[in-house]
């Protein structure tokens, strides 16, 4: 039985940012993801759940985990998935993004899953739709990546009893990270107060004061007694005007090693959204070690995306 029978389904036309989800909507989506994880994939309540729906992926940036887990999630629920070859789209002939969107809408798209290098592009597209089409943000610039935050929250919930008393340490290129922004917002909605962001000054966001977190340049201070440790990749593709740090020096100061992990709680979990750059932000011993839940995050990604697609695509249509 789908948990929506017990808890009210959140009203969700789109999923553009964590801002639109409250604690009960987050819990609903995480419970539904757990339900999908526990139900055999050949069960008709799953494999025909969204039969007849068309999901179109528009990824204007590379992706391994996000695009393919969305594809698997949509196909597991019985939808048709259109995955255009981005190099062959008419946008390269000068067609505007909105004309491309309208074209796919008229071909029957029910839901777009969009990743774009520009902040707020999915939000902009959502304002330009012709019909009652849905949009899921799969990452926009350094702004938001809501399904990543949901899968991170699910992974944390599977290991820790409450969100309220957790100490969470997020390390690395925070300034250019949509993952960090979305996760901080998600954790705060779930009641986590002790969030520490650790980065060299060049990777600290300018609006850090608005985020209501603790910021430090010292890794061991951020790690002290942490329950959850999240390492992030340096977002080279988003760094245009400043000089990248030397990777060896960066690893010396901010690389997550076994020795450094001794500052966190002994039962702390280690997370990373992927892709990992080994020996830059994280040592292989930690990435592949017993505290790592990185591959569990990958697995949860499929079920969380099933939950989001299912919730959005089973909303009753407006009259
Ligand atoms: C992240 C992203 O694209 O924002 N990866 C992901 O979605 N799994 C993080 C990154 O690319 O570093």
Residue minimizing CA distance to atom 1 of ligand 1: 273
Q: Is the CB of 65 under 6 A from ligand 1?
A: yes
Report the pLDDT value the prediction gives residue 2, as an integer from 0 to 100. Answer: 64
If you measure from the C-alpha of residue 233 to the centroid of ligand 1, how many angstroms do you get, rounded to a whole number?
8
Supply the pLDDT for residue 241.
73
* Contact between 111 and 136 (Cβ < 8 Å): yes
CA atoms within 13 A on the CB side of 241: 0
pLDDT at site 319: 52
pLDDT of residue 41: 93
> Separation of 274 CA from ligand 1 center, angstroms?
6
Q: Cα 229 from chain centroid?
A: 16
CA 114 to chain centre: 13
**Nearest atom in ligand 1 to 64's CA:** 8
Q: Residue 240's pLDDT is what?
A: 80
Span 262-290, pLDDT tens digits: 999 999 999 999 999 999 999 999 999 99
205 lines ligand 1 (CB under 6 A): no
* d(CA 8, ligand 1 centre) in Å: 31
Output the CA 301–ligand 1 centroid distance in Å.
12
Pocket flag, ligand 1, residue 146 (CB < 6 Å): no
Residue ranges of the chain whose pLDDT lies below 70 = 1-6, 317-319
Q: What is the pLDDT of residue 318?
A: 67
- 294 CA distance to ligand 1 middle (Å): 13
Give the C-alpha separation, 223 to 79, whole Å: 43
Residue 196 near residue 170 (C-beta atoms within 8 A): yes
Report the atom number in ligand 1 closest to the C-alpha of 138. Answer: 7
274: Cβ below 6 Å to ligand 1?
Answer: yes
Of 108, 169, 179, nearest in space to 142 by CA? 179
Residue found by looking up tokens 């992927």 in the block = 274
């Amino acid at each position: 039985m789908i948990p929506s029978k017990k808890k009210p389904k959140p009203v969700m036309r789109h999923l553009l940012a964590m801002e639109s989800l409250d604690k009960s909507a987050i819990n609903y989506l995480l419970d539904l993801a757990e339900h999908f994880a526990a139900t055999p994939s050949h069960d008709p309540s799953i494999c025909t759940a969204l039969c007849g729906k068309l999901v179109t992926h528009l990824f204007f940036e590379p992706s391994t985990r996000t695009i393919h887990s969305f594809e698997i999630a949509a196909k597991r629920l019985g939808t048709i998935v259109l995955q255009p070859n981005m190099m062959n789209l008419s946008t390269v002939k000068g067609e505007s993004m909105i004309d491309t969107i309208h074209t796919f809408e008229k071909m029957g798209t029910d839901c777009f899953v969009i990743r774009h290098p520009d902040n707020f592009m999915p939000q902009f597209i959502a304002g330009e739709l012709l019909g009652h089409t849905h949009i899921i943000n799969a990452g926009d610039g350094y702004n938001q990546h809501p399904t990543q935050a949901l899968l991170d929250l699910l992974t944390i919930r599977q290991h820790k009893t409450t969100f309220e008393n957790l100490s969470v340490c997020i390390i690395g290129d925070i300034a250019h990270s949509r993952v960090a922004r979305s996760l901080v917002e998600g954790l705060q909605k779930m009641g986590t107060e002790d969030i520490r962001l650790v980065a060299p000054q060049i990777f600290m966001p300018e609006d850090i004061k608005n985020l209501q977190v603790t910021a430090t340049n010292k890794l061991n201070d951020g790690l002290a007694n942490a329950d959850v440790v999240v390492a992030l990749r340096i977002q080279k593709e988003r760094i245009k005007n400043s000089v990248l740090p030397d990777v060896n020096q960066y690893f010396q100061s901010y690389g997550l090693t076994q020795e450094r992990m001794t500052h966190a709680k002994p039962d702390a979990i280690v997370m990373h959204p992927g892709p990992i750059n080994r020996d830059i932000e994280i040592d292989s011993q930690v990435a592949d070690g017993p505290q790592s839940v990185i591959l569990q995050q990958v697995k949860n990604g499929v079920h969380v995306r099933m939950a989001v697609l299912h919730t959005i695509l089973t909303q009753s249509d407006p009259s």
